[in-house]
Chain A
Amino acid sequence: DIQMTQSPSSLSASVGDRVTITCRASQSISSYLNWYQQKPGKAPKLLIYAASSLLSGVPSRFSGSASGTDFTLTISSLQPEDFATYYCQQSYSSPLTFGGGTKVEIK
C-alpha cells in the first residue's frame, strides 16, 4: 500500500494567515493526489484533484502543488469557514489511501 504522511497533524492560525499543509507519498504517485476538507459531523468535500486542479466552485484561495512525492495544499488567506480538517488522498493505485489529516484551528 502507498502510505500518505501529512504534516503537521494540527496547526493554529489566524484569519488572513497563509497556511501550508504537506503530504508525502511513500512512492511515486505522479499527480494522482487529491485534497479534501472535512468539518465536524460532515462528509469530506473535494477541494483539489490531480495535485493542482481546483474543483469548480472552490474558492481560489485554495491551491495545490507537487514536487516529486511531496504535495502541498496552500490556503492563501485563511477565512473563518476554512477552520476544518484537511486530508490528502492518492488515487495512483489500489488500495486508495488517505493521509492522517491536518486539523486547522483558530489561534
Chain B
Amino acid sequence: QVQLQESGPGLVKPSQTLSLTCTVSGGSISTGSYSWSWIRQPAGKGLEWIGRIYTSGSTNYNPSLKSRVTISADTSKNQFSLRLSSVTAADTAVYYCASRITIFEDAFDIWGQGTMVTVSS
C-alpha cells in the first residue's frame, strides 16, 4: 500500500526558502503515469493546490505561486520535494503531498498526513 510522508522544518523565517520533502513508500514515484502534488491549507481555511511533478519529470505550477515554487523529484530516494522562496506569513499553512494511485482519473486518492509550517522571525 502506497503511503506518503511529509518532512521538513516547521519554522521558517520571512524571506527565506521553505523546503519540504515527501517520501513515498510502497510504490515507486518513477513508474506509471502518476503525478505527485503539493497542496496547502492555512489554518481554518480552504485548500490550495501548489503544483505537481509528473513521472516524466515535467512540472506544472499554480500561477499564483509559480515565480516562487520549484518541485523536484529524487527517484533514488523515492522522494519529491517542494521549495518555496521568499516566504511571508501568508505562506504559513499545513502542507500536504498527494497523488492518485488506485484510480485513472485525476483526483487525489492518497495524501500524506500533512506538516505544519510557520513563517515567523
Binding site for B on A (CB under 8 A): 1, 32, 34, 36, 42-46, 49-50, 53, 55-56, 87, 89, 91, 94-101
Given A43-B114, A46-B107, do A95 and B47 touch, yes or no (CB 8 Å)? no
Q: Which of A36, A53, A99, A100 contacts B105 (CB 8 A)?
A: A53
Residue B64 is within 8 A (CB to CB) of chain A in the complex:
yes
Given A43-B112, A95-B62, do A89 and B46 touch, yes or no (CB 8 Å)? no
Give the secondary structure class of B's interface: loop
What band does the interface of chain B fall in when counting residues whose beta carbon is under 8 Å from A? 20 to 34
Structural contact, B46 and A98, CB atoms closer than 8 A: yes
Structural contact, A99 and B46, CB atoms closer than 8 A: yes
B-side contacts of A53, CB under 8 Å:
103, 105
Q: How far is the CA of A99 from the CA of B47 in the complex (A)?
A: 8
